[in-house]
Amino acid sequence: MKGKLLGVLVAVLLLTIVFSGCQEDTKEPIENNKTHIEIATDFMNKLQQKKYDISYKYFNNEMKNSLPLSQLKSTWEYFILTYGDFNDINETIQTLIEGYEVVYVNCTFNNNYLLIFRIVFDADKKIAGFWQDNAILLSTYNAPNYVNTQNFSEMNLTIGASHWELPATLSIPHGTESFPCVILVHGSGPNDRDETIGPNKPFKDIAWGLASKGIAVLRYDKRTKIYPEEIATNINFTLKEELVDDVLSAIDFLYVQSYIPIKNIIVIGHSLGGMMIPRIVSLDDMIDGCILMAAPARSLEDLILSQILYLSNFDGVIDESEQENIDFIEEQVDKIKTLNITENEKVLTTYKSYWQYLADYNQVDSAKNVIIPLFFLQGKRDYQVTFEDDFLIWQDELSDQSLISFQTYDSLNHLFMAGEGDPNNTEYMIENHVHHNVIDDIINWIDQL
């Protein structure tokens, strides 16, 4: 979504639970003489009061088709489970974007979070769009023990093509010698440069951990975070524009910058970013090595369905609403696999071109043609990209190639953070850090290039 219909682009953190609607309440019709801010505030207050049927009346017909009443209910309940009870609205901001009135509603939640919601109105003052733009933990980043901030400095800069400029940070080790330089490539969704998820910042952990040991790191905000409106309406948008093009721009930037002398360039891709590494390598011969962290071997649509099934059955029971959600996702997946999608139709929040691009790409077969070192890392507690269904495929298909290495971690999840018990998405909301063994293994592998 990075477009980001509430529930965040399908991807490796699929938060939305879709199921069919409840009965609508006939009370409290919308008063059209209210301002957009008043309507937005009323809408959020009704959600706070769990009056979902009344909140639903604020949607126009197109929005109702995109976000069923039951999905609105389940998504809001997910927010409460993850971020705590909704406390208050502390700010509303109204603006005009491409002819639409938009109200940003900043809300505080009990678990010390500020969530920013974006509500878009049509000409009749009906809600035509409802997104969660950001979740901000109201506390500071605590660096892990393996970080020594005395060993490096950071520079904020801009990378990317002129129309798609992206804010970025370059972590520069102290010293005058040449350095290995790493580019970090995000997973799915509208990620910032730290790949922030709740209180966790896995890319910042990696960048600071590597920079503490003499490895420069470039990380940047993802295009889908910086340009969501342009992307949401672009029917030709694919993973090339979402991810690949900006990695190539980052490589070009490193070779013309004057801040540090470069020894070699390594690309680290996490999740969807790891999945696209073989395609990226095929397009740029300046890359000296790549690390694939929790890289899917399966198709994106199969990952989505697998995650829905896992989370729906997490308590051992699939109730009626969860089954309806599964049925809906299965229908969407079938559309993707057959490409039975009309030109202006969105399936799992994206247009046909997105799925066509992926249908024409097989990451495992492409990796067989890569002639630079690859290093695959996988946490065995990862329920999103799994050891059994993804890592073993990579290993079985590529283990006979001398330039490819593999490493697993028994206790680590999709963020390469330690945990116990059956993994689920709520553990991402607990402050943690990329495990020091992962940082050490990355450093040792880069040192051997």
Residue 396 has pLDDT above 80, yes or no: yes
Instruction: Give 19's pLDDT tier (boundaries 50, 70, 90).
Output: very low
Which two tokens mark 175? Answer: 């010293």
Which two tokens mark 196? Answer: 């922030």
Q: Which of 186, 270, 414, 435 is catalytic?
A: 414
Q: Which of 271, 299, 306, 321 is catalytic?
A: 271
Residue 236 has pLDDT above 70, yes or no: yes
Which residue type does 39 have? I
Reply yes or no on whether 271 is catalytic. yes
Phi, psi dihedrals of residue 62, rounded to the nearest 5°: -65, -40
Contact assessment for residue 186 and residue 273, using Cβ atoms and an 8 Å cutoff = yes
Instruction: Give 23's pLDDT tier (boundaries 50, 70, 90).
Output: very low
Distance, CA of 377 to CA of 385 (rounded, Å): 11
Phi, psi dihedrals of residue 184, rounded to the nearest 5°: -95, 130
- Classify residue 371 as left (phi > 0), alpha (psi -120 to 50) or beta: alpha
Tell me whether strands 152-159 and 179-185 are parallel, antiparallel or unpaired. Answer: unpaired
Which two tokens mark 400? Answer: 């006979």
What angle in degrees, to the nearest 10, is found between the helix axes of 320-338 and 69-83?
Answer: 110
Which residue type does 103 have? V
Q: Which of 221, 246, 382, 390 is catalytic?
A: 382
Which residue type does 231 have? I
Q: How far is CA 349 from CA 67, 152, 196, 283, in A?
A: 11, 40, 21, 28
Nearest to 197 by CA among 441, 349, 8, 408: 8
Contact assessment for residue 290 and residue 372, using Cβ atoms and an 8 Å cutoff = yes
Distance, CA of 372 to CA of 283 (rounded, Å): 13
Quote the Cα angle for 184-189-301, to 5°: 110
Instruction: Give 31's pLDDT tier (boundaries 50, 70, 90).
Output: low
Which has more confidence, 293 or 131? 293
Contact assessment for residue 134 and residue 116, using Cβ atoms and an 8 Å cutoff = yes
pLDDT of residue 9: 29
Reply yes or no on whether 414 is catalytic. yes
Q: Hey, what domains does the chain have and what are their CATH numbers?
A: 36-137 (3.10.450.590), 149-447 (3.40.50.1820)
Nearest to 431 by CA among 108, 79, 139, 107: 139
Residue 339 has pLDDT above 90, yes or no: yes
How confident is the model over 5-16, as pLDDT tens digits?
A: 223 323 333 332
Instruction: Give 449's pLDDT tier (boundaries 50, 70, 90).
Output: very high
pLDDT over 70 percentage in the chain: 93
Alpha carbons within 13 angstroms on the beta-carbon side of residue 203 total 29
Contact assessment for residue 265 and residue 287, using Cβ atoms and an 8 Å cutoff = yes
How confident is the model over 53-71, as pLDDT tens digits?
A: 999 999 999 888 888 888 8
Reply yes or no on whether 382 is catalytic. yes
Nearest to 373 by CA among 444, 283, 446, 443: 446
